[in-house]
Amino acid sequence: MEESIFGALQLLVVGMITVFLILTIVINLGKALIVLVNKFAPAEETSPKKNPTAATNSIDANTQAIIKATVDKLTNGKGTVTHITKI
């Protein structure tokens, strides 16, 4: 790169164009992803949440609450407890 004011101006032009270009690509990439995911992998239909209590009468409420809290933390709130079996 030439050590002159033209070199600095060239960097300004090239740099700003590149940043705009890359972010425009990222934005359009995001839009394309949304369209594709909406088409090919829309959210799985969530079945009505089963009440784990009904299936696990033998486990006390306190233990169930601890298990639910642990699953919630480990899955970042995405997982649900549907059945608890004592082994």
Binding residues vs other proteins (CB under 8 A): 1, 3, 5, 7-9, 11-12, 14-16, 18-27, 29-31, 33-35, 37-38, 41-43, 74-76, 78-79
CA 37 – CA 49 distance, rounded (Å): 24
Nearer to other proteins, 10 or 51 (CB): 10
Q: Residue 68's closest CA among 56, 50, 86, 80? A: 80
* Total residues found in the chain within this entry: 87
For the bound state, the minimum distance from the C-beta of residue 57 to other proteins, rounded and expressed in Å, comes to 27
Nearer to other proteins, 35 or 60 (CB): 35
Give the distance between the most distant pair of CA atoms in the chain: 80
